Chains A and B, each alone.
Chain A
Amino acid sequence: MSTTGPTEQSQSANAQSGDYLLRCVGLHKWYGSVHALRNVDFNVRAGEVVGLVGDNGAGKSTLIKVLSGVHKQDKGDIFLEGRKVVIDRPRAAMQLGIETIYQYTAMIPEMSILRNIFIGRELRKAGPRGFGWLDRKRMASEAVASIAEVGLDLESPHRPVKELSGGQRQGVAIARAMHFQSKILILDEPTNHLSVKETNKVLDHVRTLSEQGVTCIFISHNLHHIHPISDRIVAMARGEKIADIHPDDTNIDDLNKMIS
């Protein structure tokens, strides 16, 4: 496998740009003796859809976990809008405007769509966070609006999430992320476990988001999903970034060879 070409391209891409929305410099992460991230530089421009590809264990999940506050990097810095930021827990990421959509959808099955949209960020009529009186009316109306905005048809926001299909759940997750007006939307393998029809729906959602100018990082090991919707593709292998390319400069076969 040759990595020379893509690496050169990645360096030239880095050199051109100063106006990144998100900039990660020299990230390292160890899990015990496993070096999961090795000196990774990862940048995203505003309004861009970046496809992040790699085989299982390539480090893409670890990178996402660092960005969404699930794990903290052991070394390296993260800059958001030019400002150095510390993301030490999921809430810190959310407060910075980084929303993550997980492949398992991060929903509470027994709870309603409406409650799921506001988990951990419930709207309050009165009182500080943790001692707040719920504002159910406002949550219901805002939930309905958010669901409509992503073009979902779900009968009622009071339906429990367990009654929804996988694709509908991802739709709610996207509505949730959009409701909180994220600066960066991370989609971590959102098409896993979905049928072809549902996958297409989720990809449509991402296209709509990118048309609206939302910055997205789309993670998948399915190159057929990534290639058509990405403005740029970053490939990882064994904890390192091995390519940073425009989709027009590559094709699915080359990408496949690169990451496997």
Chain B
Amino acid sequence: MRSVLKNLMTRPEVSALAMLVLMVVVFSLISDRFLTLNNFMIVLQPMPEIALLAIGVTVLMIAGEFDLSVGSVFALSPMVMVLLLAQDVPVSLAIAAGLLAALLVGLANAGMTLKIGLPSFIATLGALFMVRSLAIVISGGFPPAFPRDMDTSWLVGRIDLLRASIFYLLGIAVIIAVWLRKTDFGSWIFATGGNTQAARDMGINTTMVKTTCFCICSVLAGFAGIILAFRIKAIVPSMGTGFELQAIAAAVIGGAALAGGIGSVAGAIIGALLIAFIENIIILARIDANWFKFAVGAMIVISVALNTWIRRTAERMRLGDDQ
């Protein structure tokens, strides 16, 4: 029993989960419209985009690296896609090209970090500006219109108040969560972030592991951008500005450690959900919207503090006390 409890307490998403429960209780007291099915579906509508960003950032953070460029990639991929669509390129190819652009950014981030040896914070800060600039330059200042008559239902079609994209999020989340926890490569990601030197000495190709994670992070960001473009049927080069910080906030609230080696997909999703709930209650309770950033900031601090406290308590629990 104690060991089950201890296992639970050392899960990275435990503090986020506690806050989620607390928030649902408190918010339903603040507004009676909060705890309704309709409201939840409304909250979930824009969730896939930010949650996919958060999952990508989390995977990379587990590997011990960091990506600030996801918000810019979020604009670049759909921009590439829409420009190709305007040239009558088939949808599937245009999407593939958009994702390929994201993959190239991921590879460039990995190259700057792992080959040149820049800290990933600096490398991807550079990429944040460069990729954003690229998205604007290739649009020529006036991005082409999103093709109005294109079938978007397979990606963002309405299902009651939900969008089809939520199922893509769930599918991707399950695949990545299983990959992280059940496969040898997943184990290498945790090992690489947990102690890169040890992982390397034990025969893991840490450069390959980190490069893979940079690419996954970038491609998920590109895909998230494509979902948004599909959903709003429009593209602006400035879309996704600031999303990198929201994604990192979601990842950190979800228990991903800046030092690497700790994090989970469930945490990333709960983190993104918490941010969405805050936004939602501010609207429902007609609170001044300028409090949104304050609330997110406070949640980052509280969740990390709570996580640290829970972990310390769990560490003090000796399994030997079971007998």
Cα A226 to Cα B191 with chains together (Å) = 32
CB A123 to nearest CB in B, in angstroms, measures 9
**Among A89, A109, A134, A155, contact of B183 (Cβ-Cβ < 8 Å):** A134
Give the residues in chain A near B142, CB-CB below 8 Å: none
Q: How far is the CA of A155 from the CA of B323 in the complex (A)?
A: 11
Indicate if the CB atoms of A108 and B201 lie closer than 8 Å: no
Secondary structure class of chain B's binding surface, majority of residues: helix
B1, chain A: closest CB distance, angstroms: 14
Please judge, given known A-B contacts A106-B201, A108-B261, A163-B315, whether A132 and B184 are in contact too, CB under 8 Å: yes
Residue in chain A with minimal CB distance to B194: A108
Which of A68, A102, A111, A132 sits near B190, CB closer than 8 Å?
A111
Assuming the contacts A108-B191, A110-B262, A129-B184, asked whether A119 and B204 have C-beta atoms less than 8 A apart, the reply is: yes
Question: For the complex, what is the distance from the CA of A21 to the CA of B123, rounded to whole Å?
Answer: 47
Check B194–A111 contact: CB distance below 8 A: yes
- Smallest CB–CB gap between B189 and chain A, Å? 11
* Cβ–Cβ contact B191 & A119, under 8 A: yes
**Does A156 sit at the interface, judged by CB under 8 A?**
yes
Q: Across the two chains, which residue of chain B brings its CB closest to A121? A: B203
Instruction: Say which residue of B184, B188, B198 sits within 8 Å of A107 (CB atoms).
Output: B198
Instruction: Name the B residues within 8 Å of A18 (CB-CB).
Output: none
A121–B315 alpha-carbon span in the complex (Å): 27
A95 CB, min distance to chain B CBs, angstroms: 8
A70 at the interface (CB under 8 A from B): yes
Contact across chains for A106 and B202 when beta carbons are under 8 A apart: yes
Contact B198–A90 (Cβ < 8 Å) = no
Question: On chain B, which size bracket covers the interface?
Answer: 20 to 34
Give the CA-CA distance A46 to B221 in the complex, in Å.
Answer: 55
Q: Which residue of B lies closest to A102 (CB)?
A: B201
Q: Are B182 and A119 in contact (CB under 8 A)?
A: no
Decide yes or no whether B291 CB sits under 8 A from chain A.
Answer: no
CB of B201 within 8 A of CB of A130, answer: no
Annotate B191-220 by CB proximity to A: 1 below 8 A, 0 otherwise. 100110111111110000000000000000
Of residues 109 through 135 on chain A, the ones whose CB sits less than 8 Å from some CB of chain B are 109-111, 115, 118-122, 124, 127, 129-134
CA distance A4 to B191 in the complex (A): 48
Cβ contact within 8 Å between B198 and A155: no
For residue B39, CB closer than 8 A to chain A, the reply is no
Question: Does B31 interact with chain A (Cβ within 8 Å)?
Answer: no
B38: interface (CB < 8 Å): no
Q: What is the interface residue range for chain A against chain B?
A: 35 or more
Verify if A52 is at the interface (C-beta below 8 Å from B). Answer: no
A98-110 vs B: 1/0 string, CB under 8 Å? 0010101111111
- A90:B190 contact, CB within 8 angstroms: no
Known contacts A90-B201, A108-B198: A131-B191 contact under CB 8 Å: no
B203 and A94 within 8 A (CB): yes
Residue contact B203 to A130, C-beta cutoff 8 Å: no
CB proximity to A under 8 Å, residues B1-50: 3, 10
Bound complex: CA A159 to CA B278 (Å) = 37
Which residues of chain A come closer than 8 Å to B198, judged between CB atoms?
A: 102, 104-108, 119
A109 touches B195 (CB 8 A): yes
Q: Within 8 Å of chain B (Cβ to Cβ): is A6?
A: no
A159 near B203 with CB under 8 A, answer: no
Nearest B-chain residue to A100, judged by Cβ: B201
Which residues of B have CB within 8 Å of A109?
Answer: 194-195
CA distance A162 to B195 in the complex (A): 12
- Contact between A124 and B194, CB atoms less than 8 A apart: no
Known: A90-B202, A111-B194, A155-B320. A160 touches B187 (CB 8 A): no
For A106, give its contact among B184, B185, B197, B262 (CB under 8 Å): B197
A108, A118, A121, A124: the one within 8 Å of B195 (CB):
A108
Contact B315 A119 (CB under 8 A): no
Across-interface contacts of B3 in A (CB, < 8 A)? 156, 158
Q: Which residues of B contact A120 (CB under 8 A)?
A: 188, 191, 199, 202-204
B191 contacts A134, C-beta separation under 8 Å = no
Is B319 interfacial (CB-CB < 8 Å)? yes
Cα(A132)–Cα(B187), bound, Å: 10
Contact of A134 among B182, B203, B319, B320 (CB under 8 A): B182
B190 contacts across to A, CB distance below 8 A:
108, 110-111
Say yes or no: A122-B187 contact (C-beta < 8 A), given A133-B182, A163-B315. Answer: yes
Task: Chain A residues near B182: list those with CB within 8 A.
Answer: 133-134
Question: Contacts A120-B202, A120-B204: A111 and B315 contacting too (C-beta < 8 A)?
Answer: no
Residue in A closest to B190 when the chains form the complex, CB atoms: A111
Residues B202 and A115 in contact, CB atoms below 8 Å apart = no
Chain B residue contacts of A162, Cβ below 8 A: 315
| Residues on B with beta carbons closer than 8 Å to the beta carbon of A124 | 184
Residues of chain B having any CB pair with chain A under 8 Å? 3, 10, 182-185, 187-188, 190-191, 194-195, 197-204, 261-262, 315, 319-320
- Chain A residues at the B interface, C-beta cutoff of 8 Å: 68, 70, 89-91, 94, 100, 102, 104-111, 115, 118-122, 124, 127, 129-134, 155-156, 158-160, 162-163
New A-B pairs, 4, CB < 8 Å, besides A102-B201, A106-B201, A134-B182: A119-B204, A155-B319, A159-B319, A160-B10
Ordered by A's residue number, 23 sampled pairs between the chains whose C-beta atoms are within 8 Å are A89-B203, A104-B197, A106-B195, A106-B202, A107-B198, A108-B194, A108-B261, A109-B195, A110-B261, A110-B262, A111-B191, A118-B187, A119-B191, A119-B199, A120-B199, A124-B184, A130-B185, A131-B183, A132-B183, A133-B183, A134-B182, A155-B319, A160-B10
